[in-house]
């Protein structure tokens, strides 16, 4: 047992600590930048797809279908090697993020589209009847409900995106997987190195997905997450308590 363990773990990990931390940092940077970009682009594509103008819908539909039906790796090669050969030389971070953004935006746009169109038409009418404008209805009525609907799918995509950053090893993006490959070529300990790299990915993804599940549950239960909503609820509670001593069910809107 001891022999096996000592046989398995022979890489001098302490020598690689700072390199690994850099690589971890790079993986997280790719994830955060790409995810933010993909959410924004995905929302824009979803809105185009729900537009009244058919050319806008067509552009959005073509975009979604194209990027959903080619492999991420092909997109990575296209944006790093392909564009470079056509004279547009992107650095590896830009090319990597661009690939992840356009790929995941296609999936997210589908999630957002169904979430937005899933909000009942009566909600828009209720907003109109209250004199809310188009922007007010979208931002205060449609979007919050759509977010609630879209959260589970979006969260799955975030974790998936984090794992997909490992594909950037093919363009030596200096993230975790690339670092693993470097250590392997220096030590020839592929099993040990890739087990450790896998464990790091797991240590990132598992808590992240659990955290997102918790967030989903809180949002679904209507827990006020923003500070101004909390302030409003606190003020309402005070008013209700002071005013006439109306007993308020406290268990509501908490988890």
Partner 1 sequence: MTEPVTTTEITTSPATDAVVRIDGLSKSFDGRLVLDDVHLEVGRGRIVSVIGQSGGGKTTLMRCVNLLERPDKGMVEVAGEVVHQGGRTVCRDLARLRRTVGMVFQRFHLFPHLTAVENVVLAQRKAGIPEQEALERAVALLRRVNVAHRALAQPEQLSGGEQQRVAIARALALKPEVLLFDEPTSSLDPEATREVLSVMRELAADGMTMLLVTHELPFAREVADHVVFVDGGRIVEAGRPEDVLDNPAQDRTREFLASYGTAS
Enumerate binding residues for partner 1 (CB under 8 A): 120, 122-123, 125-126, 128-133, 136, 140-141, 144-145, 148, 221-222, 229, 232-233, 235-237, 239-240, 243-244, 246-250, 252-253
Listed in sequence order, the residues at least 6 apart from 22 whose beta carbon sits closer than 8 Å to its beta carbon are 174, 179
Q: Considering beta carbons, is residue 7 or 131 the nearer one to partner 1?
A: 131
Judged by beta carbon, residue 116 or residue 141, the one nearer partner 1 is 141
| Minimum CB distance to partner 1 smaller for 66 or for 241 | 241
Closest distance between partner 1 and the C-beta of residue 43, in Å? 18
CB nearer partner 1, residue 17 or residue 232 = 232
Q: In terms of Cα–Cα distance, which of 96, 97, 28, 109 is closest to 68?
A: 109
Cβ partners under 8 Å of residue 16, min gap 6: 179, 183
Q: Tell the smallest beta-carbon distance from residue 149 to partner 1 (Å).
A: 10
User: Is residue 90 packed enough to be buried (19+ CB in 10 Å), middle (13-18) or exposed (0-12)?
Assistant: middle
Spatial distance between the Cα atoms of 232 and 245, rounded to a whole number of angstroms: 19
Q: Is residue 92 within 8 Å of 172, Cβ to Cβ? A: yes
Q: How far apart are CA 219 and CA 229, in angstroms?
A: 13
Shortest Cβ 252–partner 1 spacing (Å):
5
Closest CB 217 distance from partner 1, rounded Å: 14
Residue closer to partner 1, measured from CB, 75 or 115:
115
Q: Shortest gap between Cβ of 250 and partner 1 (angstroms)?
A: 8
Nearest in space to 169 (alpha carbons), one of 5, 19, 23:
23
């Amino acid at each position: 047992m001891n022999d096996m363990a000592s046989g398995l773990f022979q890489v001098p990990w302490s020598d690689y600590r700072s390199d690994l931390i850099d690589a971890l940092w790079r993986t997280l940077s790719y994830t955060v930048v790409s995810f933010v970009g993909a959410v924004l682009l995905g929302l824009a594509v979803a809105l185009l797809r729900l537009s009244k103008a058919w050319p806008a819908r067509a552009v959005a539909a073509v975009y979604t279908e194209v990027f959903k039906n080619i492999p991420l790796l092909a997109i990575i090669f296209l944006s790093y090697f392909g564009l470079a050969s056509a004279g547009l030389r992107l650095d590896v971070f830009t090319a990597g993020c661009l690939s992840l953004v356009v790929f995941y935006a296609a999936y997210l746009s589908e999630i957002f589209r169904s979430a937005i169109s899933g909000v009942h038409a009566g909600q828009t009418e209720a907003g109109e009847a209250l004199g809310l404008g188009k922007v007010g209805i979208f931002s205060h009525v449609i979007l919050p409900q759509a977010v609630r609907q879209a959260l589970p799918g979006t969260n799955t995509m975030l974790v998936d995106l984090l794992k997909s950053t490992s594909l950037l090893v093919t363009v030596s993006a200096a993230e975790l997987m690339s670092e693993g490959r470097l250590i392997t070529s220096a030590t020839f300990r592929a099993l040990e190195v890739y087990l450790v790299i896998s464990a790091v990915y797991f240590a990132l993804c598992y808590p992240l997905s659990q955290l997102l599940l918790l967030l989903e549950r809180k949002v679904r239960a209507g827990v006020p997450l923003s500070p101004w909503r909390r302030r409003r609820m606190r003020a309402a509670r005070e008013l209700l308590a002071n005013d006439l001593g109306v007993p308020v069910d406290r268990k509501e809107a908490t988890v």
